A and B are shown apart, each in its own frame.
Chain A
Amino acid sequence: MGDGRETFYSVIRRQGITRRSFHKFCSLTAASLGLGPLTASRIAHALETKPRVPVIWLHGLECTCCSESFIRSAHPLIKDALLSMISLDYDHMIMAAAGHQAEAILEETRAKYKGGYVLAVEGNPPLNEGGMFCIDGGKPFVEKLTSMAEEAMAIIAWGTCASWGCVQAAKPNPTGAVPIDKVVTNRQIIKVPGCPPVAEVMSGLVTFITTFGKLPELDRQGRPSMFYSERIHDKCYRRSHFDAGQFVEEWDDTNARKGYCLYKMGCKGPTTYNACSALRWNGGVSFPIQSGHGCLGCSEDSFWDKGPFYDRLTTIRQFGIEENADEIGMAAAGVVGLTVAAHAAVTAVKRLTHRPDRPADKGKPS
């Protein structure tokens, strides 16, 4: 693939993309990043002059939904543009090279672009049995990951697998899968959670890094603030029904047909930071809630263990119990209530039977 010296602009021109569409792409990207109108020309300038950034894209335990999402980025230039914006030097899903030839690219990039390449990680390393559950190029994946992370300019954790662990880390997590920040501990990692992340979030982030040559502003959890500072709930178009107290009660009731809020059906929108309700999916066509299904919270830590997906309250699985907060609370309060009642009954009986002997006024509290 590319040698990292060419600019993005020269590559797309060679592919026959017009200057006009190029500028359209730049302004749309600026808009989706929430940057001002002047930035569009800065993006254009950078893409015309800066050499393409080499990207190493590793795959651990994952389902490839992140790659699937990425290549569906809906900007005018779609996947061609994206794949030419960066110099995707290694990605075993879509690269031509194979075997030793492919593995050699890793070493080469690591040596040639020391501190200058972007490491994008899809999936995560399993640590049990010495990492045997994910062997890649004859070695446990975790080794490849940590060695490539050492010399990278920036490390991107694509999706919920790399960011939080995802389904393969669900209890009881037999392979010991961990998010990459558990093994790459000395570096800032950009987390782009979601299962998968929204395509425009991925391409927007790549554009930002390649254009400005720096990391975007990250929040407390290491996510780019420009895409993850609001919850699904904050921009959900059903929010007026939430505030009105109009909820879907059953999947096929009239309320569902009227498009009421899915809160009672377990929608995790109020606790999920992601861009779905703002950017939507498949080029802005729709997003889960618009299609009548609650948010599962797929971009949040351990969303896979915070079920059920269709109940408002999370089931608590501790000490062998499997109830939600209300069930546990009511049971405990019931026990306390019964104890109080029993105590009151004993008190009454004692008082009736002992009254004559009771020394008058003795020991009365002041």
Chain B
Amino acid sequence: MQDRAQKLLAAVDAAPTARRRGGVVAYIYAPVRLWHWVNAAAILVLSLTGYFIGTGTPATWGKASGSFLFGYIRFAHFSAGYVLSVGFLLRIYWALRGNANAIQIFCVPLWRGCFWRELYHEIRRYAFLTVEPERGLGHNRLAQLAMFFMFTQTITFMVVTGFALYGQGAGTDSWQYKVFGWVFSLWPNSQDVHTWHHLGLWVIVMFALVHIYAVLRDDIMSRRNFPSMK
């Protein structure tokens, strides 16, 4: 175990320096791609339904027994929440047994000089101060930073707070409450958990805006036919 962890760390360290431009793509991409789109779809559903859970729906008419609108919205939210969470767990598994690129969004080598150098370069590129991209395999450093702090962290937070809130509805004897109930030791009034969970939505929205822009921009700049979407 120790051995493997060390090897992995060494690989994380080595990966950026081993990048080659125009070389053969050397890492197994398909599982991450597949995960990416399942994940993006789940997040789309979660964001829309989550927003409606926060604001409430416009009034529906008729007998209450004839309608289950809000119930379905919440159901969709919870189902997508499960898909997101299971996917996220699989993604972690893949990060641990896949290669060094697969672990990038979970582990940022802040302790390495070359990380900061590459980050500086990337900032200059986005500030139009240089055109030379330093992007080889894997994410560029700026993207990696955004993915770690705005995506990985936020999703972890959303899963934890989401399941804690779910535990309230499922009851104090549910496994969700038993596993995630400690959240209510941090925030005894679950209204706070709602507020934080709600703010998480907007962090994800901001990430998605920047992310999709950066991806499209890279595709257009490199004059390729949106290869990254495939």
- Mark A residues whose CB is within 8 Å of B: 164, 219-221, 225, 229-231, 234, 240-247, 249, 255, 260, 263-264, 268, 270-271, 297, 300-303, 306, 312-314, 316, 325-326, 328-330, 332-333, 336-337, 340, 343-344, 346-347, 350-351, 358, 362-366
A177 to chain B, nearest CB (A): 17
For the complex of A and B, 4 pairs with smallest distance between CB atoms: A329-B202, A245-B69, A245-B70, A325-B198
Tell me if B60 and A333 are in contact (CB < 8 A): no
Using a Cβ cutoff of 8 Å, how many contacts connect chains A and B?
A: 154
B120 to chain A, nearest CB (A): 17
Which secondary structure characterizes the binding site on chain B?
A: helix
Tell me if A314 and B191 are in contact (CB < 8 A): yes
Which B residues between 51 and 81 are near A, CB-CB below 8 angstroms? 51, 54-57, 59-61, 64-71, 73
Q: How many residues of B contact A (CB 8 A)?
A: 58
Task: Please choose the segment from B7-15, B111-119, B206-214 that sits at the chain A interface, where 4 or more of its residues have CB less than 8 A away.
Answer: B206-214
Bound Cα distance from A347 to B202, whole angstroms: 26
B126 an interface residue at 8 Å Cβ cutoff?
A: yes
B122 to chain A, nearest CB (A): 12
Tell me if A325 and B195 are in contact (CB < 8 A): yes
Tell me if A312 and B218 are in contact (CB < 8 A): no
Tell me if B59 and A260 are in contact (CB < 8 A): yes
Tell me if A365 and B70 are in contact (CB < 8 A): no
Tell me if B67 and A245 are in contact (CB < 8 A): yes
Tell me if B54 and A326 are in contact (CB < 8 A): yes
Q: Can you list 19 A-B contacts (CB < 8 A)?
A: A220-B181, A221-B188, A229-B172, A230-B171, A245-B56, A255-B59, A270-B168, A271-B168, A303-B191, A306-B189, A313-B198, A326-B198, A333-B209, A336-B209, A343-B126, A346-B128, A365-B136, A366-B20, A366-B136
B185 an interface residue at 8 Å Cβ cutoff?
A: yes
Bound Cα distance from A242 to B59, whole angstroms: 10
Tell me if A366 and B25 are in contact (CB < 8 A): yes
Tell me if B56 and A263 are in contact (CB < 8 A): yes
Contact of B205 among A229, A230, A270, A329 (CB under 8 A): A329
Tell me if B69 and A271 are in contact (CB < 8 A): no
Bound Cα distance from A147 to B25, whole angstroms: 73
Residue on A nearest B22 in the bound complex, by CB: A366
Contact of B194 among A231, A271, A336 (CB under 8 A): A271
Which residues of chain B are near A255, meaning CB under 8 Å?
59
- Mark B residues whose CB is within 8 Å of A: 20-23, 25, 51, 54-57, 59-61, 64-71, 73, 126, 128, 131-133, 135-137, 168-169, 171-172, 181, 184-185, 188-192, 194-195, 198-199, 201-202, 205-206, 209-210, 213, 217-218, 221-223
A289 to chain B, nearest CB (A): 15
Tell me if B217 and A220 are in contact (CB < 8 A): no
Known: A301-B188, A340-B210, A366-B136. A350 touches B64 (CB 8 A): no
Known contacts A245-B73, A247-B56, A316-B195; 7 additional CB pairs below 8 A are A225-B172, A245-B57, A245-B59, A245-B60, A301-B188, A340-B213, A344-B217
Bound Cα distance from A234 to B168, whole angstroms: 9
B73 to chain A, nearest CB (A): 7
Tell me if B59 and A249 are in contact (CB < 8 A): yes
Tell me if A343 and B54 are in contact (CB < 8 A): no
Which residues of chain B are near A347, meaning CB under 8 Å?
128, 217, 221
Tell me if A271 and B190 are in contact (CB < 8 A): yes
Which residues of chain B are near A346, meaning CB under 8 Å?
128
Bound Cα distance from A347 to B206, whole angstroms: 20
Tell me if A325 and B199 are in contact (CB < 8 A): yes
Residue on A nearest B24 in the bound complex, by CB: A366
Tell me if A246 and B60 are in contact (CB < 8 A): yes
Residue on B nearest A341 in the bound complex, by CB: B213
